Structure 1
Amino acid sequence: MSPEQIGFTLLYLGVFLLIGKWIRVNIKWTQKLFLPSSIIGGFLALLLGPQVLGNILENVVDSGSFLTNGLIPEHVIDVWTTLPGLMINVVFASLFLGTTIPGVRKIWRLAGAQLSFGWTMGWGQYVLGILLALLVLSPVFGLPPMTGALIEIAFEGGHGTAAGMGETFKDLDFAEAYDMAIGLATVGLLSGVIAGIILINWGVRRKKTEVIKDVKGFSDLRKRGIMEFQNREPAANMTVRTESIEPLSLHFALIGLAILVGYLILQGLIWLESVTWGAATDSEFMTYIPLFPLAMIGGIIIQIVFSKIDQNHIMDRPMITRIQGFALDILIVTAISTISLDVIGDHIIPFLLLAALGICWNVFGVLVLAPRIIPSYWFERAMGDFGQSMGVTATGLLLMRVVDPENDSPAFESFGYKQLVFEPLLGGGLVTSLSVPLIFEFGPIPFLIISAVMCLLGLLLGLLYFGRKKKA
């Protein structure tokens, strides 16, 4: 494949992102669902690619025609297939760069209840998923027990984590899990917005909310995904002069350094295993670990170092966030557009069972567990974890903005502090990345026991400690 062809694939990406944005601006139902342009563009590319339009046209045109691949050339699909696994490293390396990491005591005081609730929801997805795999998916449909981990990988982790686990799935001879996980992440995102808006309407009518007393609609510009004129601010801050280095280049380099540190950590773990327990047990467990959670650890290391040596505060969090968002848009478009519809069709019943179980557990958490765990503003704060548990942190932020438009509750602050402990472990962190290799290596029962203990720990701490606190 020539460099020109690779460059052409990036032009295709831009076209589908622009078309996705145009649809969001002009089509009402996409505005009601708050669909990101990357989701719309990804679905459009899927429809116009080889799996839908290509399959239709191959019955009409000659076998040698380029139209048998739809409107997207084969070399574009080949490049797009590899991009999600690369972009997820950028997303996770950026998570903590430019942030202030507070002490454990402050996190516990402000976000302890939020962490307890999110912890219960995350580990509970493993418990229910593995039980479903052991009782139904494996004996009835012949799927491996690690299928049960897909709920947490796709719902808590979202498209990015699902895409980042692609190589791990292949290494474990379970390549079809990638397409199932991407499909589940899409179902989770869509149902998260729909179910979240329904829950907010229910909460307002039943007087469960403490901030809003009626459902206020967003402005027309907000629904179309356009920033209101009075709210427009610079996308980032110029912390260095362009004659020395372009600020975007500097921050891109910092993210690259974080990924490199993560890569070196991974290679060190693989080497350590090869000369210690791996040599004795003939295991290669570390080779199954994807790079992205260690890229996140690399980002934390770079942030700690910079917080001590960067006296001029040249690292700008908004700039990091823009690069992270760019990488996530690319990831979502390419992941959705290259998903295998045949794989999902072949496993449609297990796919629907996993999706239904994940949705029901998250709704149960909001309606039953949240009011008993979170002592104050429970509904506003639960919406953040509900959105995240359905596939993407942005959904949680969106739902919190609907239910608390002026940030009058502690929802945003507690959710943000909770992420500092939650993200390194669940929702795409170390536990998420290790779950499938652990189940493959040691079997589902040990991981099920660990998950049940962790879920119960979060539940009991929430019910017996935080749940008994009076409203503050």
Structure 2
Amino acid sequence: MHSEWMQNLFLPASVIGGFLALILGPEALGLLLRNFTGDDSFWANGFVTEEIMEVWSELPGLLINVVFATLFIGTVLPNLQRVWDVGGPQLAFGWTLGWGQYVIGLLLAMLILVPFYDMPVWVGTLIEIGFEGGHGTAAGLQGTFEELGFPEAYDLAIGLATVGILTGVIVGIAFVNWGVRKKHAKVIKDVEGMSAIQKSGVVEPDSRGDAGKLTVRPESIDTLSFHFTIVGVSILVGYIILQSITWLEMTLFGSDFMTYVPLFPLAMIGGLIVQVFVSRFDKLKLIDRETVIRIQGFSLDFLIVSAIATVSLQVIGEYLVPFLILAAGGIMWNVIGFFVFGPWMLPDYWLERAVGDFGQSTGVTATGLMLIRVADPEMKSPAVEGFGYKQLVFEPFLGGGLVTALSAPLVFMWGPWPFLIFSSVMLLIGLLAGLLYFGKRKPKYD
């Protein structure tokens, strides 16, 4: 909170905390101290004990289910015409960036990583998994990577997610500065307008709103407990769906593809089903969206800390060159997308809108929203609105959705060519929709 240079980088506290835990844990400090104290010493794990590491290593795979189960709970679908007009260009741009990461990754895997480094070809999917999906998705796929016979992919994906979020924040801020100097920004004239208290991550007293509402009486059940229960029911519904599909697949076809699929995308569907039920029968409005968001934020913060803290630096060191190749490929594609596609696909306020998708496509959704807030602190542009509408279609598939969860197993079972061709077609659809349709439409904003 009091580190000025970190405040200027807008690094999330969860990322900073994860790095501190990693440095003080067995992969860094512990490795150094073992040279002096021996492997059996208390200090062999640094300041993070083996028991703590065992618990932390399980947290990401559990918390990602909470994050995805909360995506639709308490939401209200807006007017579809408004979604199309404002969110359409944003969806085309984000769709292009997301599917392009698969195309770039698989090409790199087929041309370099497989022949020269003897890696499985499905590691080409790690760019989208790490960048678009982030730490949560990478952690949620840990069991899948083990089932596919290359558990080291977990550490590589977590490493890519970490590089991605750092790049998203640092390069994204640089893009906003560049846009202001080159007169591409329509809302702000400089990025120095944020106060010191805002940069510290503290909400100014006059701007503090309600973090959640009491919707049930505490003597019956605490509001937070009630909302956690709703989230738990959503995850349970997703689990039942996953087990049912797995059983049907084994019974009807004798295959085991669904055993590679993690729970979290089905938890998202479970949350959607619960929300449909709530929208129809919750006449007393017991579900408060702000409380659900607090649960989501809590889970994501601890997920990121535990995921970074438990990453294996030895694995990344062993596959350092392939790791750097994947990271460079993903970053270069996103940068090209920002400068080349952004101005042509987004009909107005292109900088404010493109920087949000750059942040999400490189880091996480929160990174994208943070960059939009820097470029448009008073929300005068349609950037936040369009970004939110885009998520309704984007998240169920990319950025940790069904495609992200299924991509590695699909490439593993069917080979790279079918998925590469499909990804190329999806990329082409995004490009054509953005360049030839949305980019040429006159903006329709109220």
Query: Residue 71 of structure 2 corresponds to which residue in structure 1?
Result: 95
Q: Taking structure 1 as reference, are residues 104 and 145 closer, same or farther at Cα in structure 2, changes over 3 Å only?
A: farther
Contact 1:216 1:402 in 2 (8 A): no
Question: How many angstroms does 1:115 deviate by?
Answer: 0.5
| Alignment partner of 1:390 is 2:390 | no
1:262 to 219, 238, 245: 238
Per-residue Cα deviation, 1:394-444 (whole angstroms, up to 9, x for no partner): 111111111111111111111101101100010000000000000001001
Query: Residue 297 of structure 1 corresponds to which residue in structure 2?
Result: 269
| Alignment partner of 1:371 is 2:343 | yes
Q: Distance in 1 between matches of 2:151 and 2:81?
A: 42
Query: Residue 79 of structure 1 corresponds to which residue in structure 2?
Result: 55
| Alignment partner of 1:42 is 2:18 | yes
Query: Residue 391 of structure 2 corresponds to which residue in structure 1?
Result: 419
Q: Which moved more, 1:123-132 or 1:208-217?
A: 208-217
Q: Distance in 2 between matches of 1:101 and 1:377?
A: 24
Question: How many angstroms does 1:461 deviate by?
Answer: 1.0
Unaligned runs of 5+ in 2: none
SS at match of 1:235: coil
Query: Residue 463 of structure 1 corresponds to which residue in structure 2?
Result: 435
| Alignment partner of 1:357 is 2:329 | yes
Per-residue Cα deviation, 1:43-63 (whole angstroms, up to 9, x for no partner): 111111111111111111144
Q: Taking structure 1 as reference, are residues 309 and 434 closer, same or farther at Cα in structure 2, changes over 3 Å only?
A: same
1:226 to 184, 193, 202: 202
Contact 1:158 1:392 in 2 (8 A): yes
Asked which structure has the greater RCO (Cα within 8 Å, sep 6+), the reply is 2
Query: Residue 308 of structure 1 corresponds to which residue in structure 2?
Result: 280
Question: How many angstroms does 1:250 deviate by?
Answer: 0.3
1:70 to 43, 46, 61: 46
Contact 2:238 2:270 in 1 (8 A): yes
Q: Distance in 2 between matches of 1:63 and 1:456?
A: 54
Q: Distance in 2 between matches of 1:220 and 1:362?
A: 30
Query: Residue 272 of structure 1 corresponds to which residue in structure 2?
Result: 248
Query: Residue 188 of structure 2 corresponds to which residue in structure 1?
Result: 212
Aligned positions, number: 444
Question: How many angstroms does 1:108 deviate by?
Answer: 1.6
Q: Distance in 1 between matches of 2:311 and 2:191?
A: 36
Contact 2:69 2:235 in 1 (8 A): yes
Query: Residue 107 of structure 1 corresponds to which residue in structure 2?
Result: 83
Contact 1:258 1:298 in 2 (8 A): yes
SS at match of 1:82: helix
SS at match of 1:50: coil
Q: Which moved more, 1:84-93 or 1:26-35?
A: 26-35
Query: Residue 111 of structure 2 corresponds to which residue in structure 1?
Result: 135
Name the amino acid aligned to 2:395.
Answer: E
Name the amino acid aligned to 2:250.
Answer: S
| Alignment partner of 1:324 is 2:300 | no
Which stretches of structure 1, 4 residues or more, deviate above 3 A after TM superposition?
Answer: 102-106
Q: What is the RMSD computed on CA atoms of the aligned residues?
A: 1.1
Question: How many angstroms does 1:471 deviate by?
Answer: 4.2
Contact 2:85 2:443 in 1 (8 A): no
Q: Distance in 1 between matches of 2:38 and 2:245?
A: 52
Question: How many angstroms does 1:262 deviate by?
Answer: 0.3
Query: Residue 20 of structure 1 corresponds to which residue in structure 2?
Result: none
Q: Which moved more, 1:343-352 or 1:29-38?
A: 29-38
1:145 to 121, 133, 136: 121
SS at match of 1:58: helix
Question: How many angstroms does 1:69 deviate by?
Answer: 1.4
TM score, norm. by length of structure 2: 0.98
Question: How many angstroms does 1:210 deviate by?
Answer: 1.5
Q: Distance in 2 between matches of 1:64 and 1:224?
A: 41
Q: Distance in 2 between matches of 1:202 and 1:72?
A: 41
Q: Distance in 2 between matches of 1:63 and 1:424?
A: 46
Q: Which moved more, 1:63-72 or 1:451-460?
A: 63-72
Contact 2:163 2:327 in 1 (8 A): yes
SS at match of 1:416: helix
SS at match of 2:28: helix
Contact 2:98 2:128 in 1 (8 A): yes
Contact 1:151 1:358 in 2 (8 A): yes
TM score, norm. by length of structure 1: 0.92
Per-residue Cα deviation, 1:197-224 (whole angstroms, up to 9, x for no partner): 1111111111111212333331111111
| Alignment partner of 1:407 is 2:390 | no
Q: Distance in 1 between matches of 2:12 and 2:357?
A: 19
Contact 2:236 2:267 in 1 (8 A): yes
Q: Distance in 2 between matches of 1:192 and 1:212?
A: 20
Q: Distance in 2 between matches of 1:211 and 1:41?
A: 33
Question: How many angstroms does 1:105 deviate by?
Answer: 3.9
Percent same amino acid at aligned positions?
60
SS at match of 2:176: helix
Q: Distance in 1 between matches of 2:336 and 2:232?
A: 40
Contact 1:159 1:391 in 2 (8 A): no
Q: Distance in 1 between matches of 2:25 and 2:181?
A: 44
| Alignment partner of 1:185 is 2:161 | yes
Name the amino acid aligned to 2:165.
Answer: L
